[in-house]
A and B are shown apart, each in its own frame.
Chain A
Amino acid sequence: MRWFWIDRFTEFVSSSHATAVKCVSLSEDHLQEHWPGYPIMPNSLVAEGMAQCGGLLVSEIYRFSELVVLAKFAHFSVEGEARPGDVIRYHAKIEQAKDFGASVIVTGDNDGQPFSSADIFFARYDADSSENTRGRVLFNADDLRAWIRVVGVFDVGVRPDGTRLRVEDYPHFFQKYSSANHGDLRTGV
Chain B
Amino acid sequence: MSSVSSKSEIFSKVQEALVDALGVDEDEVTPQATLQGDLGAESIDFLDIVFRLEKAFGIKIERGELFPEDILTNTEYVEDGKVNAAGLSKLKERMPFADLSKFAADPNIQDLGKQLTVQDMCNFVEHKLAA
Contact = CB atoms under 8 A, between A and B. Distances in A.
B63 A121 contact: no
Contacts of A98: 50-51, 63
A96 B55 contact: yes
Nearest to A71: B44
B20 A74 contact: yes
B21 to A, nearest CB: 6
Contacts, number: 33
B47 interface: yes
A74 B48 contact: yes
Contacts of B45: 72
B76 interface: no
Contact of A72 (B44, B54, B63): B44
A96 B50 CA distance: 11
A103 interface: yes
Contact of A74 (B21, B54, B55): B21
B20 A101 contact: no
A121 B20 contact: no
A2 interface: no
Contact of A95 (B47, B51, B63): B51
Interface residues of A, number: 15
A71 B55 contact: no
Interface string A108-132: 0000000000010101000100000
Given A74-B20, A74-B21, A100 B54 contact: no
Contacts of A72: 44-45, 48
Interface in B1-29: 20-21, 23
B51 A71 contact: no
A10 to B, nearest CB: 28
A96 B54 contact: yes
Interface in B32-57: 44-45, 47-48, 50-51, 54-55
Interface string A67-89: 00001101100000000000000
Contacts of B48: 71-72, 74, 103, 121
Contacts of B20: 74-75, 119
Interface of A: 71-72, 74-75, 95-96, 98-101, 103, 119, 121, 123, 127
The 10 closest A-B pairs by CB, nearest first: A71-B44, A96-B51, A121-B48, A103-B51, A101-B47, A72-B44, A74-B21, A100-B47, A100-B63, A74-B48
12 contacts: A71-B44, A71-B48, A74-B20, A75-B20, A95-B55, A96-B51, A96-B55, A98-B63, A100-B47, A103-B48, A119-B20, A123-B47
